[in-house]
Amino acid sequence: MSDARKVRLPHYLVREDFLAPDTVADILDFVLANEALLKPTKVGNGNVAERNSELRSSKHFGRRGPVLAALEAAIRPMIGELFDVLRMRPLPVTHMECDLVVHGDGDFYKRHVDTKRAADSDPQDRFRLITGVYYLHVQPRAFDGGALRLHELGTMPGEGAHIDIAPRHNSIVFFPSWMPHEVMPVCVPSGRYADSRFSINCWIHGQVG
């Protein structure tokens, strides 16, 4: 860079081979067998649905407890470590929220942050603190693109530095929910649902203040 300003890139953590192979196979089997359950994703709590097509294009299953239980169980023992690695002040954790998401050909999610309450009924001081994104897909991978782009803090869209993290099978990435990020466009040459980019978004909620 030509100037001497300090680049404020996010702290993040990537773990490969995160779940046992049998567990990954079970989740993928569920995803592949239940395309009919998919619904279009929304932005926020759905209050800006009219802008959704400009900001986000994907589908999701919503919270499927039995399917996501193993992933939640693997993340919970890491929470203390995550606060440390991400250089965040430890706060009381209240709960976790997960969502299975599918990005097919041409899908994306433009720059955004995740710091919101899960629902309007949640207490006003409980927010998403840490975001985790777990990836899985058929092998060999049949899509291109779909990187998670983490943006430099304090910059406007189109400005500043960034980091791209590839959506590798059975890997997970964690970062502070307040860091701006986006899902780069996905290309699925076959157009087949089974060849899509599958991910599970997990948010660790905590009490702020």
Q: Would you kindly state where each structural domain of the chain is located, as residue ranges?
A: 13-207
What's the confidence (pLDDT) of residue 119? Answer: 57
Lookup: tokens for 143: 């899509």
**What strand order describes the sheet that includes 181-183?**
56-57, 108-112, 181-183, 148-151, 162-165
Which tens digits make up the pLDDT trace of 49-104?
445 678 999 999 987 767 788 999 999 999 999 999 999 999 999 999 899 999 99
What's the confidence (pLDDT) of residue 48? Answer: 44
CA distance 170 to 92: 28
Residue with tokens 């207490």: 123
Q: For residue 122, is pLDDT > 70?
A: no
Which residues share a beta bridge with 187? 144
pTM recorded for the entire structure: 0.90
What's the confidence (pLDDT) of residue 1? Answer: 39
What's the confidence (pLDDT) of residue 67? Answer: 78
- Architecture of the domain whose range is 13-207: Sandwich (2.60)
